[in-house]
Every structure is written in C-alpha cells, then in structure tokens.
Amino acid sequence: MIRWVAAAVALTAAVAAAALEVPFLGGRVNDLAGLLSDGFEAQLGSELEALEQETGAQVAVLTVPSLEGDPIEDFSMRVAETWKLGGERADNGILVVIARDERLVRIEVGYGLEGALTDVESGRIISGLMTPRFRAGDFDGGVGAAIDAIAARVRGEPIELPEGRPRNAPEGGLSGLLTLALVALFGLPFINAALATRGPAGWILYLMLAPFFFIVPTVFAGTLAGGIAALAWLLVFPILRAVWPKASRSPGRRSMGGRGGIPWVGGTSWRGGGGSFGGGFSGGGGSFGGGGATGGW
C-alpha cells in the first residue's frame, strides 16, 4: 500500500513539475524570446512606467521561446498570479504573453480592468493589430500598436479596432487526446488498485488520486478540464467502489510487475534571450480571473 501511495504522489509531483516554470519578473518588458529590439524595449518600458504613474495600472510584456506543451492560457494565468500585476484592491494589471515557437499571443486582463478592456477588444487587438505585423516579422510594431490600444482603454479613451475573432489555440483536440492517453496509461493501474483494495487503504488511494485527475487535464487541456475531471473522480469513485465486485478486492498490496521508479521531470529554467528594462519593478498584489483573449499568427 505504501508503494502505491508513494507512486501516486511521485506521479502527481512529476506532472506538476513538468509545467513551464514562471520566469522572474525583471521589468515591465521581459523579452526572453529575443523578439524585440533593444531600443524598442527601452522605449516601451518607459511608456509603461509613465502609464502606471498616470493611471496606477501595471502593464507588462513577456515573450518566451516556447510553451513546451502548456496551454498559453494556463501559463499566462500562472505568470499573472505569480507576478501580481496591478494594485492589491484595484486589480488593474494587464499581461501580454507572446510564445514564439507556437506563434500564440495571450492578453490577460486583471479583474479591475475587465470593464475597460473587454475580451472582444482584447481579441481584436491581437487579430487586428498584432497578427498582421507579426506575420510580416514586425514584432516591435505589433507590440507597440497593441500597447498603444491597451493604454488608451486603460485611460478610458475610445479606440477603433478592426473586426476579428481571436484564433483559438490549435492544440485543443490534440491536448484532449493526450490527456486521455496519459490518464489511461498512468491512471488506470492506480484506479484499479483503489477499487480492488479493501478498507481505508482504498479510500486513501482515492484521495491521493484526486490531485492527479486535476493536474494532468489542467496541464494539457486547461483548468476547466482539470476541475471537471477531478470532480468526476470524486463523485464517480464512491459509486464504482460500491458496485465493484468485492471478490476482486485484495486485502494486501499488489506488485506493479516491474522495478524502477518514476523519473522526476523538472521545469524549464529561463536563460538567455532578450533583456528587460525598468529595473526595480514589482507587482502590487493584483488579481486575475481569466479575462482577456488568445490569438495567433
């Protein structure tokens, strides 16, 4: 039984560790993918600093070389929650994330600015102002145009944006299949063990597996999928256990039929790329709730 619990804990920890590491907040502009010119970075950092002094809103830009399989919505939310852009009560932070290899963009909007910068406007900023310039290789121009529009909305100024709909992340179907494959590969033996083990030991396995059913779908298909999977596990397992043939339950522990452990998968450490400007910058304790939009080029 102890081996089962240890294996479940190790598996859950390994999946969690595989999630992309949140980079250090080095300034208002963090160009880890090296997409922006140094001169533009410095100019943009100064503009964002002036915007904060004028309105109190904190806007930051992050570019990364790759998401390494993470949905950009999940990664940007982790970054936003870690950096805590915006005031603690005002929640007036905005994060712009650009993933170079996946060719994806995410605008994450804090609670306090969701009325000023709507999801539709965020999507049009991406599809109308950023995407055309990015496709032409003009990352400075695309980011600059987006920040100008965002700053205008933060100030309460009207903006004219082209009609458009943000492109959905292309990994959706593949992520769902990958999630099912991982659950089938790693989860089924533990599910069977939890159902087949008598007494408190089976219920302990049941509780230990709940994080697994949340983390795996979250990493590959988003937090909503993770929440649904975890809730389904918590509700369905007691029913399955009640109808599971009691004769198939073993009082002792079972061997997994092999030797060796589960390897630890570490997160990515951010190195190299572009620099960041605006030293001494830190978040003010703001909160985010998933407002914003995703698009790509």
Q: Are residues 153 and 286 in the same domain?
A: yes
pLDDT of residue 236: 81
pLDDT of residue 252: 43
Q: pLDDT tens, position by position, for the chain (297 residues)? A: 555 545 555 555 444 445 688 999 989 999 999 999 999 999 999 999 999 999 999 999 999 999 998 999 999 999 999 999 999 889 999 999 999 999 999 999 999 999 999 999 999 999 999 999 999 999 999 999 999 999 999 999 999 887 654 444 444 444 555 666 666 666 677 777 777 776 777 788 778 878 877 776 776 566 777 778 788 878 888 887 777 655 444 444 433 333 333 333 344 444 444 444 445 678 878 889 889 999 999
Domain assignment present for residue 134? The answer is yes
The boundaries of the domain holding residue 119 are 19-168+270-296
Q: Are residues 121 and 146 in the same domain?
A: yes
pLDDT of residue 229: 78
Q: Are residues 161 and 219 in the same domain?
A: no
Q: Are residues 119 and 192 in the same domain?
A: no
Instruction: Report the CATH number that the domain containing residue 79 is assigned in CATH.
Output: 3.10.310.50
Sequence-distant (6+) residues with CB within 8 A of 222 are 71, 73, 74, 175
Sheet holding 104-110, edge to edge: 276-277, 29-31, 58-64, 93-99, 104-110, 288-296
pLDDT of residue 245: 55
Domain assignment present for residue 158? The answer is yes
Domain assignment present for residue 67? The answer is yes
pLDDT of residue 166: 45
Q: Structural domain tally of the chain?
A: 2
Domain assignment present for residue 164? The answer is yes
What number of residues does the chain have? 297
Q: Are residues 73 and 136 in the same domain?
A: yes
Say how far apart CA 165 and CA 275 lie, in whole Å: 32
pLDDT of residue 249: 46
pLDDT of residue 78: 94
pLDDT of residue 258: 38
Q: Are residues 276 and 243 in the same domain?
A: no
Phi, psi of 107 (to 5 degrees): -110, 115
Domain assignment present for residue 254? The answer is no
Q: Are residues 195 and 64 in the same domain?
A: no
The continuous run of DSSP H or E covering 2 comes out as helix 2-18
Q: Are residues 145 and 287 in the same domain?
A: yes
Q: Are residues 130 and 218 in the same domain?
A: no
Q: Are residues 144 and 196 in the same domain?
A: no
Say how far apart CA 136 and CA 267 lie, in whole Å: 32
Q: Are residues 204 and 231 in the same domain?
A: yes
Q: Are residues 292 and 149 in the same domain?
A: yes
Residue ranges of E strands in 72-165: 93-99, 104-110
Domain assignment present for residue 287? The answer is yes
pLDDT of residue 286: 87
pLDDT of residue 256: 35
Domain assignment present for residue 263? The answer is no
Domain assignment present for residue 255? The answer is no
